[in-house]
């Protein structure tokens, strides 16, 4: 078994468990757009990025692809992680229909929900 902490909460998981799976096991929510259960994760949306410290080294990686390591200290909502997610949402929104009221997915859209949660109301990238 692997021992780690996620947002200060101790977790014990089987070897091979991803950070995303470990977080869900202890009730910590990490946002995802591309993750599908039982499909090999690819981390393409980059929204599940987390900050992981182990042996004095800190890195940022996608929770859906990163396997847990003994002693990992994971932060899912650090200042840097939140800023990274806002930038990612800004980029995603730049190539997305921004008129939500005319979209058939309005009210049932994870991108819309995450933009609201992180305070991203419009893209800072001009349309071409």
pLDDT tens, per residue, the chain with 128 residues: 999 999 999 999 999 999 999 999 999 999 998 876 665 666 788 999 999 999 999 999 999 999 999 999 999 999 999 999 999 999 988 877 666 666 666 767 888 889 889 999 888 887 66
pTM: 0.86
Please state, in angstroms and as integers, the Cα–Cα distance from residue 49 to each residue in 46, 92, 101, 102, 108, following that order: 6, 15, 29, 30, 23
Strands (E), 27-91: 49-54, 57-62, 73-75
């Amino acid at each position: 078994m692997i021992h780690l902490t996620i947002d200060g909460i101790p977790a014990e998981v089987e070897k091979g468990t991803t950070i995303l799976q470990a977080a869900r096991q202890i009730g910590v929510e990490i946002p995802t757009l591309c993750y599908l259960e039982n499909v090999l994760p690819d981390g393409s949306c980059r929204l599940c990025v987390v900050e992981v410290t182990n042996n004095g080294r800190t890195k940022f990686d996608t929770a859906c692809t990163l396997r847990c390591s003994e002693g990992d200290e994971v932060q899912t909502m650090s200042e840097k992680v939140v800023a990274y997610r806002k930038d990612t949402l800004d980029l995603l929104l730049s190539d997305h229909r921004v008129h939500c009221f005319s979209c058939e997915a309005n009210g049932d859209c994870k991108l819309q929900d995450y933009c609201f949660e992180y305070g991203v109301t419009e893209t800072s990238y001009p349309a071409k």
